[in-house]
Amino acid sequence: MPRPKHKRSVIHPPVMEGFKPFGVPLKDLEPVILLYEEYESIRLCDYEGLTQQEAADSMEVSRPTLTRIYEKARKAVAKAFVEGKALIIEGGDFRSDFNWYRCNDCLKLNISKTKKQTCNYCHSRSLRLLNQVMEKHDEQ
């Protein structure tokens, strides 16, 4: 039986839930899924400029695992760009110390250590939980 996968630590959720080609309705586009941990690998390596070892340490995975996640992420982004597909950021096998909410009214991202009922920006009660908070010691 294979060893259980270690959940990747994702510190910062994406500001947006995805991207699409300019001028094409989303309903007419085939999606390419970018997992949250794949997004995090691109954010750490390309945006933050960390080495793969530093990014792996941040995500609490080995450097070879980070490399596999990063390569898969780059292929997903390239496929969306080259083939004109929507890039949707969702899902994956990760954990975070925060709750991530998207306001259904103003569409802003709300991050909180505790459960939220209202949006920080427009005070709407229409929040959607984007992740499930996992306990740091959930593997024991």
88 domain residue, yes or no: yes
Per-residue model confidence (pLDDT) at position 6: 76
Does residue 13 fall inside a structural domain?
yes
Residues 66, 116: one domain? Answer: no
Residue-wise pLDDT for 2-50, tens only, equals 777 778 999 888 988 899 999 989 899 999 999 999 999 999 999 999 9
Q: Is residue 140 part of a domain?
A: no
Q: Above 60 in pLDDT, residue 135? A: no
Domain extent, residue 110, equals 96-135
Residue 137 predicted with pLDDT over 60: no
- Total of domains in the chain: 2
E-assigned strands of the chain? 8-9, 18-19, 31-34, 86-89, 94-95, 99-103, 109-112, 127-129
- CB-based contact 45:39 (threshold 8 Å): no
User: Residues 101, 112: contact at Cβ < 8 Å?
Assistant: yes
113-123 tens-digit pLDDT: 999 999 999 99
What confidence score (pLDDT) does residue 28 get? 92
Q: What is the pTM of this model?
A: 0.82
* pLDDT for 55: 98
Same-domain pairing of 34 and 85: yes
pLDDT tens digits along 38-96: 999 999 999 999 999 999 999 999 999 999 999 999 999 999 999 999 999 998 888 88
Confidence of residue 106 (pLDDT cuts 50, 70, 90): very high
